[in-house]
Amino acid sequence: MSTEQSESAPQVETQAAPAVDITQQATTPTPTMQRVKNPKRVAAGKMVSERTRLAREQQKKDAEAYRALGENKAKAATESPEPAPTTERKSPKSSREKNIGLSTTQWLAVATIVTSLVGIYYKREELKGMAKAAFDKKTPEPAPEPLRVEPEPARATQPKGLNKMI
């Protein structure tokens, strides 16, 4: 039976696609022309790199000087300098300059604060007097209202809505 089926079935021949060369490139692998560099751009790039190098060196020098200055200050702070002997007398004017007092603005600020505190105290006393006078009066309590005998209506008698208002 297998021979009969093979004879009756149509045979389809498959054709293979033509072989494609995948090694071929759309562009040429090596350029035909040498790349020409713009001499102005090359010179500008060299100048920029030189400036950057000089700036970096200057920054390093500044950092070294800053560190050295910090170390010198630390050393100077740890060492106590000896005061130079003076033969001059202190004048009365210099003692006044060293007097630690308040400036005019500071005195005005202190006076303002004191004045406001005194004002608050007297206002408090005044309020206490008013409260005492109000509480000392004995006012009779109002008599309780009599109970309502009439029942209230079940619903509001006025119609709701804006129609009556317009």
User: Tens of pLDDT along 2-14?
Assistant: 555 555 555 555 5
Question: Please, what is the average pLDDT of the chain?
Answer: 75
Domain that holds residue 115: 104-136
**Residue 51 covered by a domain:** yes
Q: Are 110 and 102 in contact (CB under 8 A)?
A: yes
Q: What is the pLDDT of residues 36-80, one digit of tens each?
A: 899 999 999 999 999 999 999 999 999 999 988 888 777 776 765
Tell me which amino acid residue 165 is: M
Token pair 């600020």 is found at 109
Q: Are 81 and 73 in contact (CB under 8 A)?
A: no
Q: Enter the tokens of residue 142.
A: 């109002």
Q: Tell me how many domains the chain contains.
A: 2
**Residue 152 covered by a domain:** no
**Residue 130 covered by a domain:** yes
Token pair 């309502």 is found at 148
CA pair distance 49, 42, nearest whole angstrom: 11
**Residue 62 covered by a domain:** yes
